Chains A and B, each alone.
Chain A
């Protein structure tokens, strides 16, 4: 088991609702290594919150998260940062590439946290990822000079540079056209199959979701596996 979420709860507090708005309510999830999982649900249902909790960008109010048999709740911020850097790769709806860096430099960005990661091997790995993503010709250009699809593929490459065990993708195709979405979705599946990297995708896209092995729907703060969706598709 790669990841286990046990009775995870998260609420957001604001002045208008003193008790807070419950987003995740005693949610459970188990993910095995190499799995492809899609999480779907309406806007505001807590998909991104769940993803941020898994990615340790946020902490749950209660419950326990175990990653590779390690309880994450005891981690300090520094340990969590290192954990994220080594174990997790993020892909967002907006690519969030730094506009001043070339694609190549953007891909290398996560390696700056540790000098040990800045060796020749990393450069070669980055080069491989670039080739793999079909970005070889544009690798030394800046994001502003590229298409959305190319930028998003760069973001995927950046997520993979430190060889994480888990890729968390939040609406990775949300800002792309159909063709680019398809290419990216296929790329993610291929990476899962070939590299064995575990994939958790939050999406509204039926096409992307259908390419995952399991689809979970998030409703009232809880996850519900839905086989119907795989067959009938769904609407956001």
Chain B
């Protein structure tokens, strides 16, 4: 008979006995493959969401805060031969049912029919004036349906930044009534979003032309979509060919009378990059700087509100004044004239300053000196018919305006009344927006100037950016949170339980076939052949288990996905996670289980056969048993070291210390198990000279099977430890949130406005504007949009949102806590470190350590690279990692660095508010900030929002852990069943000795319950110690319920399984077991 026949016959004969092994392997396969499929499903769903949110979009062109021509899209389409669409994106909020409901943070998209080319439903974007299409998410949030009307308020976009000096901030928003024409589904591009995030936006699509009209714009756009078919390089090349100065808000105008051509900007100031290009590359370029000053003062006489311009011929504090001014304040050559002006800082902070000039000469207001073009184009000012109509961004005291001032304005507009040197003008009035208001060249033709500029400048220098939205999005989705690995980790204990159970059963199975092994050996089978036979047999069962496990894995996966889409939705923030099965994952999972199982079986078998030989050899000897002293010393050593380390690390209240978990789990727990093992060894060797009781018998029975007992206790106690310690470490940050060192920084509210607040809210005017009490402390942040890198986003993020503030406020109150830091961080004043500029112009930055580690997959000290508005690299070095804070998802830098990098970003839209002792509540804030579309949340709620995810993971771990324990106890039940059946001859003997069945039953039950109880205690002691900091802290809502719950689960289920097993064993004919044959 060939060997394979023996193997197959054995497999068939022992099929029932091995059913439990097959089930164990099936369960392991189901869990492992299921977890991998979960990973695939989440990844696939994120990719699907990316495809849905982008439609046919391949690349996106944006230009920061800048508006460009819609026509650029058409021209690019013609050049590249691919579909394009121009969009106008603005922030907005909706007022529904007369103000009953306000929905903030709306993404308002001005679209035209070309947007239809990016979806399979082109009619979706055919919108009439006043018509909007909204996405399902917004419809569900607002209750809006087709035909409903609501008030839409949007950020009024301009060709100049809202914070541009002297430009009025009035009418920074516009509102209009709109009717919902249709509600767009995700596959109709309803969830169109350029951010890499899986959660649905709140989209409102309006007619592009109409939106432009409402904003007073001429066919402008700020987002350009490009469909597949053109490479980034081609796109950039064609962009260079297609762009015009209008796309970068520049204009070249000729003054034939004065024979010059000049470059001016819609943004008032010519950007430094343009000025630098002109002065370096176009011969004859001359920067001009004109500034609006408050007063000329001389000997008590004043001339209010005038423009002063630069004259390259002047130097130092020389000034030439017009005849008109000289007459007005009676100034003459060599007089020292005082000049007062506003210095405009960030957030429209105005600082009244004055300076003096020495009058060099008085000129006649004719010729080039009477050039009205010297006045920059300032909306609201330069276009005003008279002084009283000025709408400026600085306070103007109309009482100071005299009739002669009105007359001058009428005749000369803002023609400068005086000239100073360019250097002085730039030094006094230069700002982040620019160092000149015009670039002039004598004699150069307009077209030539334009061509020089368009050929020499690169679009990227003026904020144009080509993003590969689809590939970046798909990459972010593919490299995002690895749910496969996560669920393998979360299911670890279930996996561990299932695998251990299978191997335990296999070991028992070998014991059952011990005689057979002896027979084979006696018949001359070699050690290797016996091993081969048994490994082959086991492989068949492993294979059967794996085959059975595959459908089970799909079932397990569906269960988990159902939970993810419902009760565990917090961890994915989307309800559209769909199953995706990749054959590679199934093969990987199955192969892993197969290799692992057969490997372990091989190892168990080798050890077993080796031991069998040793047993045979020892049979006749009465060798002295091992004393177990090594076990004792290792156990005691581990115990002492663990306790000492635990005491030394200190039970600092409220600080979860991973070391404590490590020490408890890897020190104390094994110490207790080893000591228990030693105790059993001692009990086994102990013999009372007098009393021998039922209790002694119980202990002797347990100690007699020491290895098996220790294995069961180890298995259960590890499970109890893991589940209980996890349950005890749940955080609750609603208490102690008032402390500055907490994750709230001691601030009560976090507000994110839809529209930026352009002023300083800590100023009196700012407080009045927002109805903030005197003692409320506010930190306001500017922000540069980026992806959300918090745990709410499953995508892999490389450039999170940058927020910037004045760090002094946080320094003053030593706000927040740093968990990681580099040498660049000043330990005494960590927040002030943000003001530094590091070597190579690198900017210091902070982020939550969780964001650095998990969101960005970076380390402290790493550098993130962004682009500044003028296309340079902005390198942000992460010098400090914050303990879990409200900033999760963002990178924080100092405002002074921010305004240098992003001068066009106007205002603030993130605020931290400490209400101090006032009774300010969310409703007051809502009322005060209502025009800015605020999303107001308590800082504690925000933290809880983040912790919801962490706690959901903990819940999953706990549920799966408890499931693992249940499987463990079920396995234990099977084990007990086996052991009980193995011990039937013992029961029969006791029966023959006159023990009543009930006594034997009670004895065996007591034995099992004792085992469970010991396991629970061995697991509970280190679990409670590891959680001690959280137990004595009110920062954590310890799930004390887990202590009794897990204890009861283990003891009761174990007792139940034991009860059933013993009952079944006792139903057997016990006497039969005593038969001699």
Contact = CB atoms under 8 A, between A and B. Distances in A.
A100 B703 contact: yes
Interface stretch (A22-30, A67-75, A79-87, A181-189): A79-87
Given A112-B697, A171-B1076, A81 B995 contact: yes
Given A48-B1076, A111-B692, 8 more contacts: A57-B991, A81-B996, A82-B996, A101-B697, A112-B693, A112-B995, A170-B1074, A171-B1076
By Cβ-Cβ distance, the 10 closest A-B pairs, closest first, are: A85-B994, A100-B704, A93-B1076, A145-B622, A110-B993, A84-B994, A81-B996, A96-B989, A57-B1071, A90-B992
Interface in B677-720: 684, 687, 690-694, 696-697, 700-701, 703-705
Interface in A95-109: 96, 98-102, 104-105, 108-109
B185 interface: no
Contacts of A101: 697, 700, 704
Interface in B407-448: none
Contacts of A100: 684, 700-701, 703-705
Interface of A: 43, 48, 52, 55, 57-58, 77-78, 81-86, 88, 90, 92-94, 96, 98-102, 104-105, 108-113, 118, 120, 123, 140-141, 145-146, 158, 162, 170-171, 174
Nearest to A141: B622
Nearest to A145: B622
A55 B994 CA distance: 10
Interface in B963-1003: 985-986, 988-997, 999
- From B988, B994, B995, name the one whose CB has the most chain A CB atoms within 10 angstroms: B994
Interface of B: 622, 684, 687, 690-694, 696-697, 700-701, 703-705, 985-986, 988-997, 999, 1071, 1074-1077
Contacts of B700: 98, 100-101, 105
- From B687, B696, B988, name the one whose CB has the most chain A CB atoms within 10 angstroms: B687
B994 A58 contact: no
Contacts of A98: 700-701, 704, 986, 989
Given A77-B996, A99-B704, A52 B693 contact: no
A162 B1075 contact: no
A109 B993 contact: yes
A81 B705 contact: no
A145 B684 CA distance: 14
A101 B1076 CA distance: 22
A102 B991 contact: no
Nearest to A107: B692
Given A96-B989, A99-B704, A112 B692 contact: yes
A83 B150 CA distance: 94
B723 to A, nearest CB: 32
8 contacts: A81-B995, A98-B701, A105-B687, A112-B693, A112-B694, A112-B697, A118-B693, A170-B1074
Contact of A102 (B687, B693, B989): B687
A92 B701 contact: no
A93 B985 CA distance: 13
Contact of A78 (B692, B703, B988, B996): B996
- From B992, B1075, B1077, name the one whose CB has the most chain A CB atoms within 10 angstroms: B992
A118 B994 contact: no
Given A43-B1077, A57-B1071, A96-B985, A113 B993 contact: yes
A165 to B, nearest CB: 13
B980 to A, nearest CB: 15
A162 B986 contact: no
Contacts of A81: 991, 994-997
A86 B999 CA distance: 16
A228 B697 CA distance: 47
A146 B697 CA distance: 21
Contact of A84 (B985, B986, B993): B993
Contacts of B701: 98, 100
Given A55-B992, A57-B991, A118 B1071 contact: no
A93 B1077 CA distance: 9
Contacts of B1075: 48
Given A104-B687, A110-B994, A118 B692 contact: yes
Nearest to A155: B989
A82 B998 CA distance: 13
A92 B1076 contact: yes
- From A96, A102, A171, name the one whose CB has the most chain B CB atoms within 10 angstroms: A96
A83 B993 CA distance: 10
Contacts of A96: 985-986, 988-989, 1074
Contacts of B684: 100
A78 B701 CA distance: 24
A99 B703 CA distance: 11
B622 to A, nearest CB: 4
Contacts of B705: 100
A113 B992 contact: no
Nearest to B694: A112
B677 to A, nearest CB: 15
Contacts of B693: 112, 118
Contacts of B690: 120, 123
Contacts of A112: 692-694, 697, 995
A149 to B, nearest CB: 13
B708 to A, nearest CB: 12
B1072 to A, nearest CB: 9
A158 B1074 contact: no
A113 B995 contact: yes
A174 B687 CA distance: 31
Contacts of A111: 692
A90 to B, nearest CB: 4
A187 B622 CA distance: 25
Contacts of A118: 691-693
Nearest to A204: B1076
A104 B688 CA distance: 10
Contact of B996 (A88, A93, A108, A113): A113
A85 B1074 contact: no
Contact of B692 (A105, A140, A171): A105
- From B993, B999, B1075, B1077, name the one whose CB has the most chain A CB atoms within 10 angstroms: B993
A52 B1075 CA distance: 10
A188 B726 CA distance: 64
Nearest to A82: B994
A93 B999 CA distance: 25
- From B701, B985, B1076, name the one whose CB has the most chain A CB atoms within 10 angstroms: B1076
A105 to B, nearest CB: 6
Nearest to B1073: A96
A170 B684 CA distance: 30
Contacts of A146: 622
Contacts of A92: 989, 1074, 1076
Contacts of A77: 996-997
Given A100-B704, A118-B693, A140-B687, A57 B992 contact: yes
Given A99-B704, A101-B700, A158 B692 contact: no
A85 B992 CA distance: 8
Nearest to B1074: A92
Contacts of B697: 101, 109, 112
B993 A90 contact: yes
A37 to B, nearest CB: 18
Contacts of A171: 1076
A226 to B, nearest CB: 21
A55 B992 CA distance: 8
A99 B701 CA distance: 9
B522 to A, nearest CB: 18
A85 B1000 CA distance: 14
B355 to A, nearest CB: 101
Contacts of B999: 113
B993 A94 contact: no
Contacts of A141: 622
- From B622, B690, B1071, B1074, name the one whose CB has the most chain A CB atoms within 10 angstroms: B1074
Contacts of A57: 988, 991-992, 1071, 1074
Nearest to B695: A112
